[in-house]
């Protein structure tokens, strides 16, 4: 009998969230203090609600992180800190993806290749297995899957629907030997979905993931999609995001009804010292138990973005987290986190 897999949606009850703390000796170095402040704020907000699995550089670094989180008002007793090598901080893409297999939880360790061999990734690709062997996920089994797949590239509703982008999952820099039908078959198998909604349009400048769905459009529940909009006709993103909006309007739920669409405001352009535009997007939020953590950018659109998401998540606190330092490394809040459903992270007594 064939095993049945199912990926729970992000809004399912959780047991913890993973963070890979940025290293001080790589690209984060020019303003490492700001990056640590941002990660501290994220760890603090998560720790107030559930455990945080953190990978960092060494024992001394671990003690500093505990001090940062304590000083910020977080729950140090909920920090599960491990010291392993890493290349970068994007836990969403190198962390394990937790599914139910025949009703039992199992961790899937997909291949991470640095978003198509763009960046060093060997240590990040090993990290899930190292955490597993160190007991970070209790006694749960882990399966290694021969497919390049990043957590930021997929959105599921828990009812059989997957939302994703062609520009990423079908990119030849990920799985060049697999045809579209073969990739779809593997997604059906390991994520437990029976239909895939592909977006052809939409991309955020500065996003070097080839168009992760978590920068563009997010399932808030099985009937609602919040998406990054652009109403400025003079902005280079206008045409592409309008085309994506039209695609979203054409999508249908399983019952044949259109999705409830919630547009998120467009922040002002943020340009780095090289003249490159950075990927400031409000779609890169994280759902945790009792709350939604939303990236903010010291922008006039921050408040309206938080307000727009209030209606998507009744009963959850909407918490803004300053993430301007993250976009300087071409990602944001959701990109540096990976949630685990209830039953994965051992709970400290």
User: Residue 348: what pLDDT?
Assistant: 76
Helices (H), the chain: 32-47, 59-72, 91-94, 114-117, 122-133, 166-169, 180-191, 238-250, 302-310, 324-327
Give the integer Cα–Cα distance in Å for 74 and 176.
Answer: 44
Residue 267, SS3 per DSSP: coil
Distance (Å) of CA 249 to CA 187, 242, 326: 24, 11, 31
Which candidate in 220, 230, 312, 335 is catalytic? 335
Query: Which fold, 5-341?
Result: 3.75.10
- The closest of 86, 34, 83 to 62, measured between CA atoms, is 83
Give the integer Cα–Cα distance in Å for 201 and 211.
Answer: 9
Give the integer Cα–Cα distance in Å for 31 and 325.
Answer: 8
Dihedral sign of CA atoms 95, 100, 102, 106 in order: positive
Taking the C-alpha atoms of 107, 224, 13 and 306 in order, what is their torsion angle to the nearest 10 degrees? 110
Lookup result for tokens 């899957």: 145
pLDDT digits (tens, 9 = 90+) for 279-326: 999 999 999 999 999 999 999 999 999 999 999 999 999 999 999 999
User: Residue 290: what pLDDT?
Assistant: 98
What percent of the chain has pLDDT above 70? 100
In the chain, what are the domain boundaries? 5-341
Task: Name residues of the chain where pLDDT drops below 50.
Answer: none
Contact 196, 187 (CB under 8 A): yes
Q: What pTM does this model have?
A: 0.97
Contact 213, 157 (CB under 8 A): no
User: Residue 184: what pLDDT?
Assistant: 98
User: CA 287 from chain center: how many Å?
Assistant: 10
Active site residue 335: yes
User: Residue 2: what pLDDT?
Assistant: 87
Contact 99, 190 (CB under 8 A): yes
Contact 6, 99 (CB under 8 A): yes
Give the integer Cα–Cα distance in Å for 340 and 319.
Answer: 20
Residue 316, SS3 per DSSP: coil
Beta strands in the chain (DSSP E): 5-6, 14-20, 52-56, 79-83, 97-101, 104-111, 142-148, 155-156, 161-165, 195-199, 217-221, 224-228, 260-264, 286-288, 291-296, 317-322, 337-341
């Amino acid at each position: 009998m064939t095993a049945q897999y199912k990926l729970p949606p992000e809004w399912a009850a959780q047991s913890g969230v993973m963070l890979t703390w940025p290293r001080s000796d790589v690209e984060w170095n020019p303003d490492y203090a700001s990056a640590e402040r941002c990660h501290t704020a994220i760890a603090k907000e998560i720790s107030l609600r559930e455990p945080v699995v953190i990978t960092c550089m060494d024992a001394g670094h671990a003690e500093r992180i505990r001090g940062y989180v304590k000083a910020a008002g977080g729950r140090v007793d909920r920090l599960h800190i491990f010291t392993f090598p890493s290349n970068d901080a994007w836990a969403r893409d190198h962390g394990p993806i937790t599914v139910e297999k025949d009703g039992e939880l199992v961790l899937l360790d997909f291949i991470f290749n640095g978003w198509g061999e763009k960046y060093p990734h060997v240590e990040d690709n090993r990290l899930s297995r190292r955490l597993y062997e160190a007991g970070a996920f209790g006694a749960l089994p882990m399966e290694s899957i021969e497919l390049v797949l990043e957590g930021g590239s997929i959105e599921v509703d828990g009812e059989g629907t997957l939302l994703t982008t062609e520009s990423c999952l079908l990119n030849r820099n990920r799985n060049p030997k697999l045809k579209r039908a073969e990739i779809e078959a593997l997604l059906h198998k390991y994520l437990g979905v029976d239909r895939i909604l592909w977006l052809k349009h939409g991309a955020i400048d500065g996003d070097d993931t080839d168009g992760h769905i978590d920068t563009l459009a997010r399932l808030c529940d099985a009937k609602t999609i919040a998406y990054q909009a652009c109403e400025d006709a003079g902005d280079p993103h206008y045409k592409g995001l309008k085309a994506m909006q039209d695609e979203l309007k054409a999508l249908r739920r399983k019952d044949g009804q259109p999705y409830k669409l919630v547009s998120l405001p467009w922040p002002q352009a943020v340009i780095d010292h090289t003249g490159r535009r950075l990927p400031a997007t409000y779609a890169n939020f994280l759902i945790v138990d009792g709350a939604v953590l939303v990236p903010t950018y010291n922008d006039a659109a921050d408040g309206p973005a938080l307000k727009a998401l209030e209606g998507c998540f009744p009963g959850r606190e909407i918490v803004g987290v300053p993430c301007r330092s993250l976009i300087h490394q071409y990602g944001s809040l959701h990109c540096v986190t990976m949630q685990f459903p209830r039953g994965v992270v051992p709970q400290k007594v």
